[in-house]
Amino acid sequence: MADVLEKISAVQRISGLLDNNLSKIEEGLPAWVNQIRQPALKAFQRMGIPGFRTENYKYTDLTRLFGNENFRRAYVPDDFEVDLSEVFSCDVPEFDTHLILVVNGWYDEKSNRNTTYPDGVVVKSFRRAMIENSDLVMNYYAKLAPVNEDPLTALNTMFSQDGVFIHIPDHVHISKPLQIINILRSEDDLYVTQRNLIIAGKNSQVKLMICDHTLMPQQFINNNLTEIQLGQDAVADIYSIQNQHNKTASLSGIYVHQEQGSQLVTNAITLHGGIIRNNLKVLLDGEYASAKICGLALSDKNQHVDNYTNIEHIKPNCESNQLYKNILDDNSTGGFTGRIHVLPYAVKTAAYQRNNNVLLTNAARMNTKPQLVIDNDDVKCSHGATVGRINDEALFYLQARGINEKEARLMLMFAFAHEVLAEVKIEKLRDVIDKLVNKRLRGEVSKCHSCAMDCIR
């Protein structure tokens, strides 16, 4: 009963935040954006805070997280004196990117002002895009990510004010990768809402890397939602590195709509974070579209990492391929739910899914669940999930060749992880991630905020 009361009150409290701050939240934004807040609120109130009883949140109960927080909201951007582009200017020498800095969910105009983009590529604050590019943005906003399907999406749409907008025009191949660095930094505990939209035009190509960092030891909740539109034959590689301290809850959603012949690669590498929930929905809505979807999570202490994927095969001749792996140490817990829905018309579908997990302790726990809904006969589908330990025979084999146990274990864990990393197609980036994962497995990426920057240096 207490549980129920708590849930109701958290929903009421959050609803109240919208009501009480509505003028601040809506200020300057066009009516068509603000008009969606009330339907989002209604959807959120209907679905409630995600908990064990919420469909699709069986493995991640957020009722306690929301029940206990009364964090500050940044309805206007925090004003920091420093130009963060200087802090982050020391990049990996060979890995040159267009840097996009976001602080507490707000596109950091000051740090980003000097970046220029070739061939008509537009990168700007999502807030400005909603105002200046209304005609384009309104085609996708809250349409790729409808508010009535998921409580976190509803919540994001209620409070959305800013984030990153990227538009790659038709036929433009931007060779230098874009790198969004999401920074959480606050003197007090903070709840952040960030909203992004990426539009890749017909036959365009883009590589995007998203890095999530905490720069201060405060508690954070980050609700980050990205809508992605891939036009005909567009190619997009999206890599994310989650490296936030363990008092952070990262609740993210990515919604992708793919047109004919488009190719998507996503790879979510989770190194650190307290509670991590990644929702990924992909609509294969044009023939011969393909999606390669990968994830690797390394967790220890009391970390929780839950990946939820939902792949909708709408048109014929599409292919989706999922590979998720977790290595869980200490008391950490993990979840994977892989939903594949093949619609009646989507013949000649190929849909594959694999989730492999290694538990390093008896206390670590992993829940894995494939969910295949196949509504026609002409498909190739497979799924597989394993939860196991480090292979003792392989360990002994390495030891018998003179490699000590600790090093042998690391080699085996790294080998396990590497299958996911091998899917990173930018060689320099793969090297960087390889090193990061290696360091993380060795326990060398420290948990404090000051190290967060190490991974891009």
Partner 1 sequence: MLVIKDLYAKVEGKDILKGINLTVNAGEVHAIMGPNGSGKSTLANVLAGHSNFEVTHGSVTFNGKDIFEMSPDVRAKEGLFLSFQYPVEIPGVSMVNFLKTAVNEHRKYRNEKELSAGDFLKLMREKKAMVQIDSQLTNRSVNEGFSGGEKKKNEIFQMAMLEPKLAILDETDSGLDIDALRIVSNGVNMLKSKDNATILVTHYQRLLDYIVPDFVHVLYEGRIVKSAGKELALELEAKGYDWIKKELGE
Residues 183 to 212: which contact partner 1 by CB under 8 A?
A: none
The pair of structure tokens assigned to 45 is: 């109130």
Name which of 149 and 434 has its Cβ closer to partner 1.
434
Round to whole Å and give the CA distance between 79 and 186: 11
Whole-number minimum distance, CB 406 to partner 1, in Å?
10
- Per rule CB under 8 A, is residue 386 in the interface with partner 1? no
Closest to partner 1 by CB, 19 or 392 = 392
Q: Encoding tokens for residue 304?
A: 């929780």
Q: Residue 358 and residue 366: Cα distance in Å, rounded?
A: 9
Under the binding rule (CB under 8 A), the answer on residue 390 touching partner 1 is no
Task: By CB under 8 A, tell whether 431 contacts partner 1.
Answer: no
Asked whether the beta carbons of 190 and 160 are under 8 A apart, the reply is no
The phi, psi pair for 100, rounded to 5°, reads: -125, 120
Nearest to partner 1 of 72, 418 (CB atom) = 418
SS3 call for 454: helix
Distance of closest approach, residue 89 Cβ to partner 1, in angstroms: 32
Told to check if 419 binds partner 1 by CB under 8 A, we report yes
Q: Cα separations (Å) of 382 from 82, 321, 379, 387? A: 51, 10, 10, 17
Tokens of 393: 């025979």
Distance of CA 408 to the CA centre of its chain: 32
Q: How far is the CB of 397 from partner 1 (least distance, A)?
A: 5
Angle between helices 151-159 and 2-26 (to 10 degrees): 30
Minimum CB distance to partner 1, residue 280 (Å): 25
CB 138 within 8 A of CB 174: no
- Interface with partner 1 (CB under 8 A), residue total 23
Tell me the closest approach of the beta carbon of residue 419 to partner 1, in angstroms.
Answer: 6
The span of 172-180, 188-196, 226-234, 400-408 binding partner 1 (CB under 8 A) equals 400-408
Nearest partner of 248 among 292, 280, 204, 212, judged by Cα: 212
In terms of CB distance, is 44 or 416 closer to partner 1? 416
Q: Can residue 352 be called a binding residue for partner 1 (CB under 8 A)?
A: no
Is residue 401 part of the contact set for partner 1 (CB under 8 A)? yes
Should residue 90 be labelled a site residue for partner 1 when binding is judged by CB under 8 A?
no
Q: Does 404 contact partner 1 by CB under 8 A?
A: yes
Among 343, 372, 381, 398, binds partner 1 (CB under 8 A): 398
Q: Does 449 help bind partner 1 (rule: CB under 8 A)? A: no
Asked if 407 interacts with partner 1 (CB under 8 A), we say: yes
Residue among 113 and 401 whose Cβ is closer to partner 1:
401
372 interacts with partner 1 by CB under 8 A? no
Tell me: does residue 391 bind partner 1 (CB under 8 A). yes
Dihedral sign computed on CA atoms, order 231, 195, 210, 283? negative
CB-CB contact of 162 with 107 (8 Å): yes
Find, among 290, 317, 178, 286, the residue nearest to 235 by Cα.
290
Residues that bind partner 1 (CB under 8 A): 391-394, 396-405, 407-408, 411-412, 414-416, 418-419
